[in-house]
Structure 1
C-alpha cells in the first residue's frame, strides 16, 4: 500500500506515516486509544412554558394561553397604582373604624351638650370626650364633671324624631364612636357630694357646705349670683349629689328630690368628662377643681 505522506521520525526509532486532518473524514476517526470526540448535532432545546403556550404559526392556540393571559391581566390589575391606592385607603378606613369602636367601648366616648346648665364650663353645642374608666376602675372624686343616663325621669320626654333617609348612617357612626351621642337620654353635671357626704345649703355667706366645710366654688358661672335653695341631705351609698355650674339654669339634684331623693345612682354614670373636643377654639381639658374641695373632711363614720 503506498504511503500517504512523508515519514516522520518515530520517537521509538521507527518511522511512522504522518496523517493529515484532511486525509481521514471525522466519521472515520478511531474510537479506541483515548478520549473520543464525536460530532455534536444541534438538538432542539426543551420547550419553555412560554414556548408551550405559544401556538405555532398557522396552528391552533394552546388551551392554556387564554388562562395565562387572564392571570397576567389580573396580576397587572392587582399591582396597578389605582388598585393599590384603593386598597390602602380601605385598610386605613377599616382600621380607623375598629379602633374608634374599641376606644368608644372601653376608653372614651363622645357626647354633645344641648343645654346651658354647665355654662361657663360647657357651652351649648360643645362636644366632649368622656373617660369611661370612671367610676370603674377609677373612683369618682369631688368636682368631677360626669355624664349619666336619665333613669329617674329628670328630662322632659321628647317626641320621637322621624327617621330620615340617612338616619341609619348617623346611628351607625354614633354607635362606633365617630359621631357624638345626640340622644336626649343623658345629662351632665358636677359631683358635689359622694357617698356618705352631708351637703347643706347654705352658710351665712350663701356658700355650699360639704361635711361642714364651706366651698368657694370658682367654677360657678360668674355672670349671675346663685339663688340660694335650702336643702340638707346625706348622700346614700352607691349614689352622688350633682349640681350644674350655671346654678340658676340647672335642673339638678336640688330640683328632683321627689325622684330618688335627687341622687344619681353611680351605676347610671357613663363616665367623667375629660376634654372639650369641639369647637376648636374651645379645646381644653376639664378640671375637677381639687383645690375647692381640699379642706372637705371625710364623712362621719369613715
Structure 2
C-alpha cells in the first residue's frame, strides 16, 4: 500500500548548484574582494604616504597621494615635471639591500595596502627633471636649471639654494650650492629632485657646488623601479587636488 505522505522538499539553498552556493557565500565574496583590491593596487593605482618635506610646498608631510601605475605602460615614459614614486636602489641613502625584521615588514605591508604608512623599504617621491639622453646643467645667469640648452621654469620650487649673480654664482669662490656640473642622463634613467630644493636628498645632492663633470656623484631613478605617477592628493580632505 502506497504511503500518502509526500517526500519533504529540500530547502531552496540545497536546490542551488554547488558553484552557486560557493560563490554566494560571504567568505568567498570577502576573499574575492581582497583579490580584486590586490590586483588594483598591483596594476592600476595605489595610495602613497608622503614621509618627508622634500616636496614642499607641492606636497606636505603626511599627505596621501594616489599613484597611477598605468601612467607609463605601453611605451609611455615620464616627462620633465612629472611627480613620480620610485623604489630607490643602493646608491641612495638607506638603500634596500638590508633585510627588514618581520614587524617592520608587516607595517610596510599595511602601508602598501592603505597608504597610511611607509610604502616600501625605500620608496621615494620626487619630480622628474630630465630623462634618458637629456643634458642637464646649472645654472643660467639668473640661477635656473638648464635641460638640453633651455632654462626650466620651475615655479613649484620652494626655498632653493642661495644664488646671487656676481657674488655667489657658478664663477665665484665659493661656488653657489645651486650649481651643478653638466651631465647627460644615462639610458633607462631619470634625474629627479625635490621641490623643496634645499631640503631634498635627491639625485643631485652630492653634485652641488661642483663645476667639473663627475659621473659618480649623481643618483638616478631607474625605469624598472618607477612605481607610477602621482596624480592626486587624497588626504587630508582640505588638500584634495590634482597634481
Same fold (TM over 0.5): yes
8 Å Cα contact 1:135/1:266 also seen in 2? no
Matched, 1:139 2:74: no
Matched, 1:255 2:193: no
Alpha-carbon separation, structure 2, partners of 1:117 and 1:172? 23
Matched, 1:155 2:105: no
- For these two proteins, the number of residue pairs brought into alignment is 210
Q: Which residue of 2 aligns with 1:3?
A: none
Shift in CA distance, 274/94, structure 1 to aligned 2, threshold 3 Å: same
Q: What is the aligned counterpart of 1:229 among 178, 193, 197?
A: 178
Note the 1:1-302 alignment, pairs <5 A: 46-50=2-6, 90=27, 93-137=30-74, 138-156=76-94, 163=103, 168=106, 170=107, 173-174=110-111, 177-179=113-115, 182=118, 183-221=120-158, 224-227=159-162, 228-231=177-180, 232-257=182-207, 261-286=218-243
Shift in CA distance, 49/102, structure 1 to aligned 2, threshold 3 Å: farther
- 1:41-91 CA deviation, whole Å, 9 max, x = no partner? xxx8x53444xx7xxxxxxxxxxxxxx69x66x87xxxxxxxxxxx77656
Q: Structure 2 unaligned runs (5+)?
A: 15-23, 163-176, 208-214
Which of 1 and 2 has greater Rg? 1
- Supply the RMSD in Å over aligned alpha carbons: 3.3
Deviation at 1:120, TM superposition (A): 0.9
Give the TM-score normalised by the residue count of structure 1.
0.59
Give the TM-score normalised by the residue count of structure 2.
0.72
Instruction: Identify which of structures 1 and 2 has the higher relative contact order when contacts are C-alpha pairs closer than 8 Å and 6+ apart.
Output: 2
